[in-house]
Chains A and B, each alone.
Chain A
């Protein structure tokens, strides 16, 4: 209760008085102090985002919804509004621009990911079919598919004779992640597949991949990936950065699964939850940066 009152008083009065006071003393506005005082990455971008979001000034708040092409003029507007002289603080403009790219880029990344997810896999779409075939050839370079509908799909971890029903709620996003991993980390993907095909410790490679796509998608949607992208991309994060993160999860989950030695595939959801918690813990670290690193032991 007391906390609520304090929070209300702080956000509606104290914060502004405090800001005004510091501004009078130091001659710099909050945004300048953030861009100067904090390192590039989550530390700077998260604070900038908070500052803009809680600003009373429309010009500043609107910066969060500005399109990528209009960001430079928006930075100029903010500097004019806040009376910031480029001569006095030469680095400010560039730094704020990068923060804005990161913040608005995260929202537009979600839009493009969501569009791909909503795209239903369609056997009549030659592009979709080509992606599916590409996945097969990347993972199984020496084996030819006997036909389009075949039990062989089970060898790379689809459920039935036709993968098209397995994409479901993740749509083409699930497929494109599987292809991205196999294409950019071919050796690693094949290694993961060989673990997945282990007679006792195995799991369904493609299905688990689609499941992990759901994990990384939900993390993106809940804004949990912000610190990671702010730390790793000094600009607006693109689809490929999202897919890199999927590769990290696919690779790390396999390592985790093999190390845990679950009794059988029926325990999948318990271990998935455990893995999810580990990832979430990583993401709470302000310095988080999740990158697939291949250990020499493999």
Chain B
């Protein structure tokens, strides 16, 4: 009988402990963050998205429409929307602005011929009312290429230092090798936390 009692108590406390752990897990669901990934075509948005989700990046094709993936990071559930960048579908970008927490703008640092075009698109995005105050991270992508312009040069060309109405950051990266992406995403999480306060 004594043996049975011991067993019963152990079992009871074990269950209690398990339940409390489960309750704790349930009470702090990951905060959802809506991230918009924009930029010209061939900038590397889909490669970046797949890299974030740790997926194979060797069979990527141009994006018709959009892709969406959810990634867990630092207690956040990041819902990342990767919208195609070709000129024909840029007018649809605005359909995805609502409730955006962070904007990630991707630039092909080696495609100097299109710096002007990409700068114009970014400027228009920053003027959008629905995106006002939304933190923006600029990825100076394709740094693995020898011809890539450094992030500082791009920041200067885009006059980023004149941005006063929101948090912003430029991060050099290579979506191909994964370099610099983590640093960028750390900034994203930090800026979401800062906005919350």
Contact = CB atoms under 8 A, between A and B. Distances in A.
Interface of A: 154, 159-160, 165-166, 168-170, 174, 203-204, 207-208, 210-211, 213-214, 217-218, 264-269, 272
A267 B41 contact: no
Given A160-B41, A165-B41, A218-B59, A269 B64 contact: yes
Interface of B: 41-42, 57-62, 64-67, 85-89, 92, 95
B66 A214 contact: no
A213 B11 CA distance: 58
B61 A214 contact: yes
Contact of B86 (A159, A170, A269): A159
B86 A160 contact: yes
Contacts of B92: 264-266
Contacts of A214: 59, 61
Contacts of A211: 61-62, 64
A265 B95 CA distance: 13
Contacts of B88: 154, 159, 204, 265
A264 B96 CA distance: 14
Contacts of A169: 57-61
B60 A203 contact: no
Nearest to B67: A269
The winner among B58, B65, B67, B95 for most chain A CB atoms within 10 A is B65
A52 B58 CA distance: 33
A268 B84 CA distance: 11
A265 B93 CA distance: 12
A207 B62 contact: yes
Contacts of B85: 159
B51 to A, nearest CB: 14
A294 B60 CA distance: 31
14 contacts: A159-B62, A165-B41, A166-B42, A166-B62, A168-B61, A170-B61, A203-B64, A207-B64, A207-B86, A217-B59, A218-B59, A265-B64, A269-B64, A272-B64
Contact of B64 (A160, A170, A268): A268
Contacts of B62: 159, 166, 168, 204, 207, 210-211
